[in-house]
Structure 1
Amino acid sequence: MPRGKTIDTHAHILSEETMRLIGREAPSIAPKLTPIDAGFAVLEVAGVPYRPFPRGGWDLDTRLADMDAAGIDVQVLSNTPQTFLYDVDPSLNTTLAALQNDQIARTVVTYPDRFMGLATLPMQAPEAAAEELYRAMHGLGLAGAQIGSNVRGRNLDDPALEPLWETADALAAVVMIHPTQVAGQDRLRSYYLNNLIGNPLDSTIAAASLVFGGVVSRYPAIRFLLVHGGGFVPYQFGRWIHGWRVRPEPQVNLKESPEAALKSLWFDSILHAREPLEYLVASAGASRVVLGSDYPYDMGTLDCVRQVRALSISEADKEQILSRGPLALIGGGITQGTA
């Protein structure tokens, strides 16, 4: 069967121009790069270092070469989690989010055949987040937003976020949930467990909050995308459904089985092994799994296209994951706009 363009739904960017503009608005937060070697640097945001930050995170030539080598035709760009900035003054982050979104949109406009985009939002200010989502989709042509898995420790079913969900539903937005400020960090300090376990754990908490809080059911037009294969969600479908049946607590805000809400969620392909990815496709369905790389981070993979093509599934399902599904997810959320 003919192959469509491969579309990587999960890729982060922080250009040097974006860093400069953030620094002009907020010098104390200004992202800084300290070279390690030709391919890596230390990225520091608000004084907090992340290492190693690969060159493709800020350098478009490197990014495009990596995409070509990996067989990725299109990336969906989102900001780096380091620049969610939910801890800063809400009005300041409203400005910084808009600045980042303008830069992502300009990259998409400059390379329309290679990139699509998602916004970042000032989640500590839900009304402003809703307004920025509307601007990003209608004014900039972005497909929706990437948001953190919690907002300064508040779960995503927090009533304060209702204005955002109402707007996202009206726009049929893509909302990609990315782990941040993960739970249990006091027990995850060794062995890189804050990422190996903490990131999928916090994605799972976010998904459970959205499902059992009734957000997914109340706002069915929002397309929620869970990264890193959905954390632990795909492997606990049955437990959640059973728990809702036998316990009163899961029924407080959800008056029907969570099964329908769970089946509406989307998942990226980043699981790093054939067996769990095949299980994800079998349990969620190929129509709900989309290609992802987590570029440029070390817990991502540029082997993502090859991994999907190596699965023991039909060629039609592979094409669904690599091309048709991402286009349905992301392309369907793009409205008119220019940068």
Structure 2
Amino acid sequence: MNAPVIDVHAHILTEEMMARMRREAPEIGPTLSEVDAEGGVLKVGDIVQRPFPRGGWDLDRRFADLDHAGFDLQVLSNCPQTFLYEREAALTAALCQIQNEAIADLVRRHPSRFLGIATLPMQDPARAANELRRAVTRLGLKGAQIGSHIEGRNLDDPALEPLWATAEELGAFILIHPQKTAAGERTKEFYLKNLIGNPLETTIAAASLVFGGVLERYPDLRICLVHGGGFLPFQTGRMIHGWKERPECRRLIKESPEVSIRRLYFDTLTHFGPALRYLTDTFGAGHVLLGSDYPFDMGTLEGARQVRAAGLAPAEEAAILGGTAAGWFGLSAAERKAVRA
């Protein structure tokens, strides 16, 4: 039985979710304004997302776009604007629970189209670990999406050990997404905060996990880096050379960083066929997963077609389009058949 085509990188924030969050936290709860047929403006506290495409909240538009893209299943995650790691931990935890329960409800209502992952109050690692466990064991979600840093603290922060231990124990899928990008003052123009800032954030997060020894201590973590892994996959040689030459690179890891880098997974969102081929040729098709970044403007609905046009072997193509993800998410043969019916 062929696996369904699975988009592992997609965001959602429905009007119902926004309303519940506003009731919980009126001062920062998400609002929509300037709404038209294509989208609107999303505001979350001081964060403004312009545009916020209509598919972010409109399920009819989303289903039409999924059909156009040829995606059978989409893994729903929160919008990064709602990470809210700067807020008081109990408030963020309450808003995470609202979003996680809403995503789980969408999965229950549309099991042939959606899977889901949680958002976590990462500023309080114990709460984050507990919410991950609740999301996976009680809500039926498949893991979590987390930001690239927690208000300036990198992901190798020792305080996060309970989260990594819990994620490995549960076999949770962890999607790392950039937020509050570095070099903000220098990337204000030309949309560089996204073009360069987002991949840079992913690179810093991944390098911290590698050189901080997180992936040595927890080798079975299932961590996927969005946007093709940022710059890290294309600078693997530089990381290896630095480890050989510089003692600070060897301070917390015993093995070459290549070992840990090869434990990571990458989505397909490179917008460039040779880059997709490089990921597959270098790290193996089993470490590359289809991702669209739906519904944002730097995403694409062409991902499945781009994979099919990349000249990959049939087995490689099948793994990327959904085979690896279906195995991770425990889709039975019957479930795979139901999704594709």
Take 1:161 and 1:169, find their aligned partners in 2: how far apart are those partners? Answer: 13
**How much does 1:237 deviate?**
1.1
Q: Is 2:157 the partner of 1:158?
A: yes
Secondary structure of 2:51 counterpart: strand
Q: Which residue of 2 aligns with 1:291?
A: 290
Paired residues of 1:153 and 1:181 also in contact (CA < 8 A): no
Structure 1 vs Structure 2: percent identity of aligned residues? 56
In structure 1, runs of 5+ residues without a counterpart are: 333-339
Provide the rounded CA distance (Å) in 2 between the counterparts of 1:30 and 1:226: 28
Q: Is the contact between residue 122 and residue 128 of structure 1 (CA under 8 Å) also seen in structure 2?
A: yes
Following superposition, which runs of at least 4 residues in structure 1 exceed 3 angstroms of deviation? 329-332
Do the aligned partners of 2:4 and 2:326 also contact (CA within 8 Å) in 1?
no
1:238 Cα deviation from its structure 2 partner: 1.2
Q: CA deviation at 1:172?
A: 1.6
Aligned residue pairs total 331
Could you tell me the TM-score, scaled by structure 2's length? 0.95
CA distance in 2, matches of 1:331, 1:46: 37
Letter of the structure 2 residue corresponding to residue 209 of structure 1: S
Letter in 1 for 2:160: L
Query: Does the CA contact (< 8 Å) of 1:101 and 1:120 recur in 2?
Result: yes
**Contact conserved, 1:143 with 1:331, CA < 8 A, in 2?**
no
Inter-partner Cα distance in structure 1 for 2:173 and 2:2? 24
1:8-40, CA deviations, whole angstroms, 9 ceiling, x for partnerless residues? 000000011110000000000111111342111
Report the Cα offset of residue 273 of structure 1.
1.4
Per-residue CA deviation, residues 211-236 of structure 1 (Å, 9 max, x unaligned), is 00000110122101000000011101
Give distance in 2, aligned partners of 1:41 and 1:224. 32
1: CA distance, partners of 2:273 / 2:258: 26
State which drifts further: 29-38 or 198-207.
Answer: 29-38
1:207 aligned partner: 206
RMSD: 1.1
Partner of 1:250: 249
Superimposed CA distance per residue, residues 229-248 of structure 1 (whole angstroms, 9 cap, x where no aligned partner): 00011101111112111210
Matches within 5 A, 1:1-339: 3-331=2-330
> 1:306 is aligned with what amino acid?
R
The answer (yes or no) to whether the contact 1:212–1:251 under 8 Å persists in 2 is yes
How much does 1:329 deviate?
A: 3.5
Paired letter, 2:212: G
Residues 273, 310 of structure 2: 8 Å contact kept? yes
What amino acid does structure 1 have at the position aligned with 2:84?
L
Matched residue of 2:132: which SS?
A: helix
Q: TM-score, normalised by structure 1?
A: 0.96
Task: Give the deviation of 1:73 after TM superposition.
Answer: 0.5
CA contact (8 A) 1:230 1:268 kept: yes
Whole-angstrom distance in 1 between the partners of 2:319 and 2:93: 36
Residue range with higher mean Cα deviation, 302-311 or 45-54: 45-54
2: CA distance, partners of 1:324 / 1:259: 25
Secondary structure at the counterpart of residue 274 of structure 2: helix
Which amino acid is the alignment partner of residue 290 of structure 2?
Answer: L
In structure 2, runs of 5+ residues without a counterpart are 332-341
**Aligned equivalents of 1:30 and 1:164: distance in 2?**
26
Matching residue's letter, 1:100: Q
Task: Using the TM superposition, give the Cα deviation of residue 328 of structure 1 relative to its aligned residue in structure 2, in angstroms.
Answer: 2.7
